[in-house]
Amino acid sequence: MLPQEEQEILTRTGPGTPGGNLMRRYWQPAALSEELPPGGPPLSIRLLGEDLVLFRDEHGRPGLLGIHCAHRGADLSYGRIEDGGLRCLYHGWLYDRAGHCLEQPGEPSNSWTYSGERDSTSSSNISAQDVGGSDEQSSQAGAASTFHERIRHIAYPCEERAGAIFAYLGPGEPPLFPNYEFLTMPDEQVIVTKLWHECNYLQANEGNIDLSHLTFLHYTARNQGIGGGRNNAGGRPDGFSTVTIDGRGAAPAVEIADAELTRHGVRSYKVRRDFGPDQYQLYLTEFVLPNFTAFPGASRGDGGFGINWHVPIDDVNHWKYTFAFHREHAIDQEGWGHNWAVCTAGYRPTKNKANRYLQDRASMKTEVYTGIGFDFVIHDLWATEGQGPIQDRSNEHLGAMDRAVLASRRVLLKAILDLQEGVEPSNVVRDPSRNAFRIIARNGVFPESKSWKVVAGELEAEVRV
């Protein structure tokens, strides 16, 4: 059970909240590059509870601004891209990517001609300062307006990597862009997509390190659950197993869980021991502060890796960005198309809460544990959305298999509270010599003589940093 006060801290990420302050210390995915093609229209986005507009200037460089014009609040996502920035349609104010107001074409060249009289009989009793001019200016008839120089619109720095546009919404100088392995791959070795989730980001993030669900939620006649080990395939002409799917899931009572704190977050281990006398199967994921997790096998089980990065839209909606990458070869874009198969053009899931995920209860006997098809992305969507807009963790009862979930909350809470005391999180990097991360994930079978901690050490050595 999580005290309500801690739950609030962990799940709220809007401006000014403790959790939001932590999120804002990191570069966060703001959109896919494909959503903002060069020459295309600006994109209205919501990120961490802020309404923003993402656009490319005439050189193709991405910029992220507050969506409401600093003049009178019009929607800048309808604006014109020209003259080095984004121009508001209402009165033509022009902004560059840094939030400078370059032009205010509607302002008179001598800006403000107010005479300085302030008595009530004057035709105007509004001071120049009230409306952005200055009395000093007003005395200089004919001088160019400097009003625009005093406007600094909300603007956040952007970087584009691995098919996504990232933004830094925090205070001060942004940290170095992190050299996570998946963000430094050649273009053809990494691919990214995203899927809308109608729930708080934290419960979906926790799903990535809650590994006991793999052998239940993802249990199908093709596989005894993702990471469940043995493939059931065969026995039927369609390649499915002849087994009946039972209510206990794929691997009752043969698994244990372990968790380990790392420099960046938490490693979650699931060990399964029905693989013969001298070996065990290990499934390992790694949570990295503050909101992504590495997992194995996103590239069709051929040694690739995946990253699920859960980015709050607001407190009750988030995007799951999934990066898949392979160290050795190009990602098979067709083969890896599972996410495209489950979502619409707007990255909304075709199976969703509104249609009860198209659950087919007849299929639950022989094909799919959940009855909602073979796409594990949809299984996870159902599980996390079903916990409610923000899961009430004061009513949960965690068991031995949930230790990684508990550890991740502890790590996240500590990072949030430390930041309140002025301590910068460990993987916010400003020193180039520390811009290297050994983030690992694995699904494999290992001899009993080798502990999973030793395996983790070997996997760390394989990371290209």
Which residues contact ligand FES (rule: CB under 6 A)?
69, 71-72, 74, 88, 90-93
Nearer CB in complex with ligand FES: 48/53: 53
CB 81, min distance to ligand FES, A: 15
Neighbouring residues of 166: CB distance < 8 A, sequence distance ≥ 6:
27, 28, 29, 30, 158, 159, 160, 177
Listed as own residue / partner, the contacts of 366-373 with beta carbons closer than 8 Å and 24 or more positions apart are 366/221, 366/240, 366/244, 366/245, 367/220, 367/221, 367/240, 367/245, 368/219, 368/220, 368/221, 368/245, 369/216, 369/217, 369/218, 369/219, 369/220, 369/225, 369/245, 369/249, 369/250, 370/217
380 touches, from Fe ion, ligand FES, none (C-beta below 5 to 8 Å by class): Fe ion
Nearer CB in complex with ligand FES: 112/216: 112
52 touches, from ligand FES, Fe ion, none (C-beta below 5 to 8 Å by class): none
Nearer CB in complex with ligand FES: 90/340: 90
Phi, psi for residue 404 in degrees, rounded to 5: -70, -35
Nearer CB in complex with Fe ion: 181/380: 380
90 touches, from ligand FES, Fe ion, none (C-beta below 5 to 8 Å by class): ligand FES
CB 313, min distance to ligand FES, A: 25
Q: Which stretch binds Fe ion (CB under 5 A): 4-12, 128-136, 140-148, 372-380?
A: 372-380
CB 450, min distance to Fe ion, A: 26
Nearer CB in complex with ligand FES: 27/147: 147
CB 131, min distance to Fe ion, A: 56
User: Under a CB-based contact definition with an 8 Å cutoff, are residues 60 and 67 in contact?
Assistant: no
Nearer CB in complex with ligand FES: 131/141: 131
For 228, 233, 338, the CA distances from 90, given in Å and listed in that order, are: 58, 61, 43
ω into residue 425 within 30 of 0, thus cis?
Answer: no
CB 217, min distance to Fe ion, A: 6
Nearer CB in complex with ligand FES: 109/395: 109
CB 323, min distance to Fe ion, A: 16
- State how far the Cα of 302 lies from the Cα of 391, in Å rounded to an integer: 35
CB 95, min distance to ligand FES, A: 9
Any idea which residue has 């249609």 for tokens?
Answer: 355
Nearer CB in complex with ligand FES: 18/92: 92
CB 105, min distance to ligand FES, A: 9
CB 105, min distance to Fe ion, A: 53
Nearer CB in complex with Fe ion: 107/210: 210
Q: Does 380 bind Fe ion (CB under 5 A)?
A: yes
CB 40, min distance to Fe ion, A: 34
- State how far the Cα of 329 lies from the Cα of 140, in Å rounded to an integer: 66
Q: How many residues does the chain have?
A: 465
Phi, psi for residue 412 in degrees, rounded to 5: -65, -45
Nearer CB in complex with ligand FES: 20/79: 79
CA 398-400-405 angle, 5° bins: 60
282 touches, from Fe ion, ligand FES, none (C-beta below 5 to 8 Å by class): none
329 touches, from Fe ion, ligand FES, none (C-beta below 5 to 8 Å by class): none
Q: Which stretch binds Fe ion (CB under 5 A): 26-34, 228-236, 246-254, 377-385?
A: 377-385
93 touches, from ligand FES, Fe ion, none (C-beta below 5 to 8 Å by class): ligand FES
Q: Which residues form the interface with Fe ion (CB under 5 A)?
A: 380
